[in-house]
Amino acid sequence: MKFSAISEMGLTRQREVVLKVVREAHGHLTANDVFVAAKSKLSTISFATVYNSLRYLKDAGHIGEIPFGNGASRFDKFTHRHDHAICTSCGKLVDIEMELPPDLVKRAAKYSKFKAETLEFTLRGLCPDCVKKS
């Protein structure tokens, strides 16, 4: 989405900047990463404004959030269902676009006794760069 089209959503200037940062990113940013990039575009923006904007944009369906337990969440320009791989050494996070077997959600629900809504797959291991280093 072009930056000019973002304005048509009725977002504040600060939220427009935060959305632009997330959508132009070549990776999955933490709130601090977004703050640093947003600050370079709008010098008066505060961390609290960035954090609140990320929450608003996520709740409004403009961006995705990838939570990692006690670790910092990462923010994703993609909002459709997709999976991720994270490097256990350097923390690199990449998207995985793959179809899961149709019965996998049903099987997971059966084992957990949860009423399933969605299933997210996270592959943890070493990225190609970390494999080369080891």
Q: List, as own/partner pairs, every contact residues 33-36 make where C-beta atoms lie below 8 angstroms and the sequence separation is at least 24, other chains included.
A: 34/75
What is the Cα–Cα distance from 76 to 134, expressed in whole angstroms? 29
Query: Which letter does DSSP use for residue 126 in this model?
Result: -
The class that CATH gives domain 3-76 is mainly alpha
Interval 71-119: pLDDT, tens: 789 999 999 989 999 999 998 999 999 888 878 989 999 999 999 888 8
- Per-residue pLDDT, 99: 86
pTM, two decimals, is 0.80
* pLDDT at position 69: 67
| Fold classification of 83-133 (topology level) | Dna Ligase; domain 1 (3.30.1490)
Q: Domain segments of the chain: what residues? A: 3-76, 83-133
Instruction: Name, in order, each residue with C-beta under 8 angstroms of 34's C-beta and a sequence gap of 6 or more.
Output: 18, 21, 22, 50, 54, 75
- Which residue carries 């995985």 as its tokens? 96
